[in-house]
Amino acid sequence: MNFRIDAVCDNTNARAGEITTDHGTIQTPIFMPVGTVGSVKGVHARELREDVKAQIILGNTYHLYLRPGLDILRGAGGLHKFNSWDRPILTDSGGFQVFSLASNRRLKEEGAYFRSHIDGSKHLFTPEGVVDIQRVIGADIMMALDECPPGTSDYDYARKSLDLTHRWLARGWKRYKETEGIYGYYQSYFPIVQGCVYPDLRRESAKYISDLGADGNAIGGLAVGEPAEKMYEMIEIVNEILPEDKPRYLMGVGTPANILEAIDRGVDMMDCVMPTRNGRNGMLFTRNGIMNMRNKKWADDFSPLDPDGTAWVDLEYSRAYVRHLFVSQELLAMQIASVHNLAFYLWLVGEARRHIIAGDFKKWKEEMIVNVTRRL
């Protein structure tokens, strides 16, 4: 995998670049739609390519390991062939999912023991095993197994958690270096910076991870309960240490404003379920603000969802029609909203890239944050 920086905007740490993988190039900054079980909920691969203009999507090791399972994925020739997505894929290691199963998992030195949310069966994720699983899935970018502590963790817990994450990382990195992809193309492996909201732990983790020399690096354990300003502070601390010539991936973030602030602080890659999850519940993001499509105020509003927008739904469906679909509980409402929100997120990072190259990102960002946080 190669990473090239095309521009860095004055007065910020925002940068525009390009990641090259064996499944194609990714222009950064980039937002990555989340396809947890191998599909972005309610969105066809054709729509992701043509309407959303997604350049890379995510899968999740925990979910894909449990269903459809490794035998099916290996038989299909990997996730790319299984879900008909011919562009890059990143897989989360499953650490966050295991973290979220607090009542059904135990963390030990050897790895994370957990019970399946599907049938209650017992499983063990080890750092080495998670590398092997992601080799079978075939993602272009694989993530290290880590523990994701709650944002409210006290210092002692965060310290022990970080030490465990680093010990796991050393084992996972060794397995990664000892193995190769099984489908004939290269796979990268990103370690994850942890340390909760404690600056010294974050600095220690960023230094430990930087020294590995991986193709890219991730920032995890944020947007898990801590205030937004604390999240931004941790990003700044970490990005002072992470190498400038490698892509930086902020995991699980977030709102349009979060994304713009992260880009301002030197983040290149982001993902979040918010555009699709919130879209399925009637929340639409536009460049002029946020709309609740169940509100009666849209009942006779025949203007496009985003009058200044370019997403395909803006050309076909009015606010009144989409509200009608939601109050009628039509499945099409969720599909339209998901595609619209994803298209907006990809437009937003594309515009950020354009303004970084033009040199006026800071001014544009400040104006855009006012717009995208407004409730319509």
Q: Are 357 and 65 in contact (CB under 8 A)?
A: no
Q: Which residues pair with 305 in a beta bridge?
A: none
> Active-site residue 132, yes or no?
no
DSSP codes, 304-350: BSSTT--SHHHHH-BHHHHHHHHHTT-HHHHHHHHHHHHHHHHHHHH
d(CA 132, CA 348): 35
> Active-site residue 308, yes or no?
no
Nearest to 265 by CA among 372, 365, 150: 365
d(CA 362, CA 325): 38
Please identify which of the residues 51, 271, 306, 314 carries the catalytic annotation: 271
Assigned token pair, 367: 């104006």
- Give the E-state strand segments of 165-220 in sequence order: 188-190, 192-193, 217-219
Q: Are 288 and 306 in contact (CB under 8 A)?
A: yes
Please identify which of the residues 92, 146, 268, 314 carries the catalytic annotation: 92
- Active-site residue numbers? 92, 271
